[in-house]
């Protein structure tokens, strides 16, 4: 059971790492067409993962064993579905209408790249022996780094860039995207 969870956890980390890597050139300001295309593909990579995960959870709810259902309690499932709302509802419209928008690229990087670093630090933390002074010190450092990354990328920048992007989309008259985007940003922040 722990091994299975660790394998899934590592696959989630790798998916976010690849997505973050694909979004990096556009995030860094390269305005070449390939950089924009990679950022859009990174968003699709995340949406694909979220769709697969949502379908997997729905299958477990409907057809899963008692043990599988016990491992996926309703409060966790609600959190998962809220977490997946942003990617599942906005990636396709954003890729169609705002594929070259630098704020969109930054949002993709914030979601993918930051998640990779946080998951990596968390996974590293699992390997530390906190019974030793050195292991406990390293755990404290990784916890502080994780908190800083989450605060900066998921609270500060995510909210600032997300609302700026929603304002720009509102000015373009895309009210449906704004409504879904605002709900997604509120759920993710």
Q: For residues 42 and 44, give the distance between their C-alpha atoms in angstroms, rounded to a whole number.
A: 5
pLDDT score for 189: 60
- The sign one gets for the Cα dihedral 92, 46, 79, 4 is positive
Distance of alpha carbon 66 from the chain centroid: 29
| 98-118 confidence digits (pLDDT tens) | 999 999 999 999 989 999 999
Percentages helix, strand, coil for the chain, rounded to the nearest 5?
A: 85, 0, 15
Q: Which residue has the higher pLDDT, 13 or 83?
A: 13
Overall pTM surpassing 0.75 (yes/no): yes
| 161-177 confidence digits (pLDDT tens) | 988 999 999 999 999 99
| 112-161 confidence digits (pLDDT tens) | 999 999 999 998 998 899 999 999 999 999 999 999 999 999 889 988 99
Residue 187 burial (CB count, 10 A) = 14
- DSSP string computed for 61-88: HHH--HHHHHHS-HHHHHHHHHHHHHHH
Looking at the predicted structure, is the pLDDT value of residue 42 above 90? Answer: yes
pLDDT tier at 187, thresholds 50, 70, 90: confident
């Amino acid at each position: 059971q722990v091994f299975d969870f660790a394998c899934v956890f590592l696959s989630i980390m790798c998916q976010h790492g690849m997505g973050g890597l694909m979004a990096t050139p556009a995030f860094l300001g390269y305005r070449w067409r390939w950089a924009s295309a990679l950022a859009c593909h990174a968003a699709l990579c995340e949406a694909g993962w979220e769709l697969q995960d949502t379908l997997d959870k729905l299958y477990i709810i409907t057809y899963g064993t008692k043990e599988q259902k016990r491992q996926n309690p309703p409060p966790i499932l609600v959190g998962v579905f809220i977490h997946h709302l942003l990617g599942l509802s906005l990636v396709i419209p954003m890729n169609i209408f705002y594929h070259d928008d630098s704020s969109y690229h930054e949002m993709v990087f914030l979601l993918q790249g930051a998640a990779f670093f946080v998951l990596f630090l968390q996974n590293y933390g699992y390997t530390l022996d906190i019974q030793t002074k050195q292991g406990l010190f390293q755990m404290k450092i990784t916890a502080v780094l994780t908190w800083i990354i989450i605060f900066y990328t998921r609270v500060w920048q995510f909210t600032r860039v997300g609302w700026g992007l929603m304002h720009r989309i509102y000015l373009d008259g895309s009210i449906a995207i704004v409504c879904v985007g605002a709900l997604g940003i509120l759920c993710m922040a």
